[in-house]
């Protein structure tokens, strides 16, 4: 396997991998059962009484 073949393989399959990964992340984020988890994370910063220096 020479360098040009390896580069061509990495370019084509690397792009395919990144697209599949991005689709997987979007499916995870917009999956209906994860809504409560993300809403809780969104509001959790407001739940605690934070004061500077603590």
- Measured between alpha carbons, how far is residue 38 from residues 26, 29, 30, 34, 49 in Å? 13, 8, 10, 6, 20
Are the beta carbons of 29 and 38 closer than 8 angstroms?
Answer: yes
The string of pLDDT tens digits covering residues 1-31 is: 899 999 988 888 988 999 999 999 999 999 9
Is 38 a residue whose pLDDT tops 80? Answer: yes
Q: Is the pTM of the predicted complex or chain greater than 0.75?
A: no
Burial classification of residue 53, based on how many CB atoms lie within 10 Å of its CB (0-12 exposed, 13-18 middle, 19 or more buried): exposed
Residue ranges per structural domain of the chain: 2-46
């Amino acid at each position: 396997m020479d360098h040009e073949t390896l580069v061509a393989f990495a370019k084509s399959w690397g792009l395919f991998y990144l697209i599949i990964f991005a689709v997987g992340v979007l499916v995870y984020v917009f999956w209906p059962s994860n809504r409560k988890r993300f809403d809780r994370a969104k509001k959790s910063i407001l739940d605690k009484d934070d004061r500077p220096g603590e």
